[in-house]
């Protein structure tokens, strides 16, 4: 008896990392603001990565500053461009392939190469003139001090009857 079922390749289920990435993007949007507004201002989508390289980003906040830390392994500070314009912090860069000699032939390449950019709308409480950045061992650290007297923008509203 012949098998009449068509054998299709198994579909790739949505990975946990894809779901996690989507959730992180939503969290960043809630933290930094509306992505549609930023996209309209800058001409490109915010809180997304464009390109083959996807730098891992951590954002932390304390009473004095918001700090963005980006992992950029294998890159130097000369290959990274960091700008602020119209309330949007933009991180751009390019990681290039380098071969030891012309006799080297790639068999397996698992590392990512190419250009990327990420953009982050800045909250009003950030003092854009005081933003500072450092780069050490493939890690970019951007410190964004808060304006004096600024809190996190949240306040309790009394509900009356």
Say how far apart CA 48 and CA 46 lie, in whole Å. Answer: 5
What integer pLDDT is reported at residue 85 of this predicted model? Answer: 92
Q: Which fold has domain 48-98+113-150?
A: Immunoglobulin-like (2.60.40)
pTM of the model: 0.58
Say how far apart CA 24 and CA 26 lie, in whole Å. Answer: 5
23-41 confidence digits (pLDDT tens) = 776 776 666 555 444 444 4
Using DSSP bridges, classify how beta strands 65-71 and 56-61 pair: parallel, antiparallel or unpaired. antiparallel
Give the CA-trace dihedral at 94, 100, 105, 106, to 10 degrees: -40
Say how far apart CA 31 and CA 33 lie, in whole Å. Answer: 6
112-156 confidence digits (pLDDT tens) = 677 888 899 999 899 999 999 999 999 999 999 999 876 666 677
Contacts of 64 (CB under 8 A, 6+ apart): 145, 146
């Amino acid at each position: 008896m012949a098998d009449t079922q068509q054998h299709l390749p198994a579909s790739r289920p949505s990975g946990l990392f894809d779901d996690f990435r989507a959730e992180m993007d939503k969290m960043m949007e809630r933290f930094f603001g509306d992505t549609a507004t930023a996209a309209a201002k800058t001409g490109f989508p915010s809180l997304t990565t464009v390109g083959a390289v996807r730098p891992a980003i951590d954002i932390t906040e304390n009473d004095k500053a918001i700090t963005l830390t980006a992992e950029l392994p294998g890159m130097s500070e000369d290959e990274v461009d960091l700008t602020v314009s119209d309330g949007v912090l933009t991180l751009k860069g390019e990681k290039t392939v380098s071969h030891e000699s012309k006799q080297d032939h790639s068999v397996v390449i698992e590392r990512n190469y190419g250009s990327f950019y990420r953009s982050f709308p800045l909250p009003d409480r950030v003092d854009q003139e005081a933003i500072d950045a450092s780069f050490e061992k493939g890690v970019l650290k951007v410190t964004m001090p808060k304006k004096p007297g600024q809190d996190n923008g949240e306040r309790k509203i009394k509900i009356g009857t």
